[in-house]
Amino acid sequence: MDTNSLVAGKGIERLENARINVTVGVLETECLEHHKRFFTVQNTKRPYIILKWAQTKDGFIAPISKDEQKPVWISNQYSQQLVHKWRSEEHAILVGTNTVVADNPKLNVRSWSGNNPVRVVLDANCRLDKNVNVFDGSVETLVLVDSRNKKQEIRQNLIFEQIDFSENIANQICEVLQKHKIQSVIIEGGSQTLQTFIDENIWDEARVFTSEVSFESGVVAPQFSANVFSEEKIKNDSLRIYRND
Ligand SMILES: NC(=O)c1ccc[n+]([C@@H]2O[C@H](COP(=O)([O-])OP(=O)(O)OC[C@H]3O[C@@H](n4cnc5c(N)ncnc54)[C@H](OP(=O)(O)O)[C@@H]3O)[C@@H](O)[C@H]2O)c1
């Protein structure tokens, strides 16, 4: 990437004209990594996209059914805390409709300190109950409804946007996020929503926890292939980070 072009070469020129010695390329790899969100927005006109999920060792992200409207935890508490740190580092967090129905998540930062990301929720057919946590108005929330549905009433901190759910939606979601000047988004499921971004090849990183538990059946984890960028153990969970190079 030509980092000079991002300031159109003018920054260096102005410094040099002011007789300041300029050295370029210092810690270039580290700087590119640190500014990856900004560069992605500049170069691709969409936010930096991180896919994240936790899967059992036999490849499921949730059991087929459960008794309560809250998540069945697959990863351990340290992995979960790390996810809250990650949430605090991104501009937005996105989930699909079934995840809201199944888990009623808050999608905020609780086990870490930092800003809550903007919540982005898919609700094509306006089937989410108005009392779910993501509609509580505590955090700015974008709700993406199908263009055949009329825009919803205005409620505190809720913004309804329309997209055409019969077409490829990942690209349209990115356009909405771009409109709201969102620089990065962590997509936390469920499987269909994650697979949508994989299939449209619109993602930058996938962060996948694999635990030691098995479900034998359930909601199948997203399917993809990519190079492993890093791998570590979080106690008994394994965390693999993939990059879409
Ligand atoms: N282990 C984990 O990391 C993790 C994380 C999150 C969720 N989960 C689990 O995942 C399960 C839900 O996953 P899921 O795959 O069933 O659902 P999901 O991805 O949460 O939501 C799917 C729904 O979102 C809408 N949608 C998503 N992609 C679409 C597309 N390309 N085109 C049109 N509509 C689209 C559709 O809504 P309509 O049906 O209204 O059209 C679809 O039914 C839950 O059991 C939850 O507990 C696990």
- For residue 64, report the distance from its CA to the centre of ligand 1, in Å: 13
78 and 12 part of one domain: no
pLDDT for residue 151 = 67
- Which strand (E) or helix (H) includes residue 50? strand 48-55
Which residue has the CA at smallest separation from atom 3 of ligand 1? 53
- The answer as to whether 39 is a domain residue is no
- 8 A C-beta contact, residue 193 and residue 224: no
For ligand 1, what atom is nearest to the CA of residue 99? Answer: 20
Return the closest-CA partner of residue 96 out of 51, 153, 42. Answer: 51
Q: What is the mean pLDDT of the chain?
A: 94
pLDDT, position 230: 98
Query: Residue whose CA is closest, atom 38 of ligand 1?
Result: 124
Indicate whether 59 and 89 sit together in one domain. Answer: yes
Q: What is the pLDDT of residues 109-150, one digit of tens each?
A: 999 999 999 999 999 999 999 999 999 999 999 999 999 987
Domain region containing 21? 1-34
Do 63 and 156 sit in the same domain of this protein?
yes
pLDDT tens per residue across span 4-33: 445 666 889 999 999 999 999 999 999 999
Ligand 1 centroid to Cα of residue 130, in Å, is: 18
Report if residue 40 sits inside a domain: no
Question: Ligand 1 pocket by C-beta < 6 Å: which residues?
Answer: 53-54, 61-62, 71, 74, 95-99, 102-103, 122, 124-125, 127, 165, 169, 188-193, 196, 219
16 and 110, same structural domain?
no
Q: How confident is the model over 166-195, as a mean pLDDT?
A: 98
Whether residues 20 and 133 fall in one domain = no
Count: domains in the chain: 2
**Best of 192, 199, 217 for a ligand 1 pocket test (most atoms within 8 Å of beta carbon):** 192
- Examine the domain organization and report whether 116 and 183 are in the same domain: yes
